[in-house]
Amino acid sequence: MADFSLTPKEQELYERAMEFARNEIVPRAIELDNANEIPMDICQKAYEAGFMNLHIPKEAGGPHKTLFEETLIYEAIGYGDAGVATSINVNNLAFAPLVIGATIEQLQKYVKPLVTGKKVKFGAFCLTEREAGSDASATKTTAVKEGDEWVINGTKCWITNAPVADLFTVFTQTEPGSGYKGMAVFMVPKKAGVKIGHIENKIGQRASQQSEVIFENVHVPEDCLVGQVGRGFHLAMMTLDKTRTGIASIATGVCQRAVDEASRFAITRIAFGKPIFHNQGISFMLADMAARAHTARLATRHAAWLADNNMKNLSIDSAIAKLLASDYAMQNTTDAIQIMGGYGYAVEYGLGTMFRGAKLLQIYEGTNQIQRVVIANELLKRAKTLDTGFSLKYPGVNAPDHSSRQL
């Protein structure tokens, strides 16, 4: 049976990450949002603290943390700021297809140098294109075999950490027009000739950067191919099934931060002769916010536990965690601003940064509409094999087809 209470080791890890967030991120969150760039100094400290590259196996120089342990770290970092958390977390996304599909020899050659040096290094997950966002199988970036090399051409967009990345995990089409069946994924070093295009100017999570990545006749050797040709789409979906849990963790941190900020304000703000916390309208809002944070945390840790224990059908559980946690982060930050009134709306109190950061959590790594598609598809599969034990016949089921009868 699953037990989500933390072991002493896990509790220490969570508290250490929370201390990092409170000391290094929270005091600078507004400043970092205004700067609109990746906070390299904080990322360096996170790297030195062991909060990055968590899933890399030890044979390739990583700490090989469980996904459950990852949720503890990224909930804490998300508590500090969602944008900073995205910058720190995205190496997990970039390297996940490689951990799943590459050989240890490939990881040792291409990934180990990035995760074992003294200076923080980044990877970038290159799936999205202008006409292939939610529909990942519509990717048009091509990889063509020429002798013992592959030649890659195309443009990716909205690629997190691309401006500072040294290794790009690139999803390509080897047989144009074949959809997901022709997809393949490659490890592409920046030095192979990768170019950075337009850097997006976002309304939130401005402590992370997303940009175009341009491949113009970029040549890579055969050993840059991850797995087999035709397995690219499968690797992408397996990756997202796990990394959505990381986004849910960040969102859970935002949820909890909103509860804490609004609660602290409500016990100090006096109206009608008493702290506004004692007004039932406010206390009930805070109770609902706390319930959302609690539910997000449980859904996230449950999805991580399933992954760590090699359970099947992870798609629905990670999708539910991402959907709930990010929707709740948006609602909690909205309610926190409402409780704090003018103070919540003022820039210097930081709720605006949290609110705008929460919005992106509902969009990236699969919009929440796509999460609902994933959940519904899994429900449809289950419904077709479900035996409830009842023998009642439902109206319209197996009934004669009268659709063409004229009245």
Confidence class of residue 93 from pLDDT cuts 50, 70 and 90? very high
Long-range contacts of 173-181 (CB under 8 A, 24+ apart): 173/139, 173/140, 173/141, 173/142, 173/143, 174/142, 174/143, 174/144, 174/145, 174/229, 174/230, 176/140, 176/142, 179/137, 179/138, 180/136, 180/137, 180/232, 180/233, 180/234, 181/230, 181/233
Position of tokens 């062991």?
50
R_g over Cα of the chain? 23
What residues are paired with 5 via a beta bridge? none
Q: Which residues are catalytic?
A: 365
| pTM listed for this prediction | 0.93
CA–CA distance, 163 with 210 (Å, rounded to integer): 8
Residue 259, token pair as written in the block: 């509860």
Enumerate domains of the chain plus CATH numbers. 233-382 (1.20.140.10)
pLDDT-based confidence at residue 396 (cuts at 50, 70, 90): low
Question: What are the helix (H) ranges across 21-66?
Answer: 29-35, 40-48
pLDDT at 395 over 90: no
**Number of residues that this document lists for the chain:** 407
What are 381's two structure tokens? 């599969």
What pLDDT score was predicted for residue 407? 42
pLDDT higher than 50, residue 263: yes
Confidence (pLDDT) at 320: 97
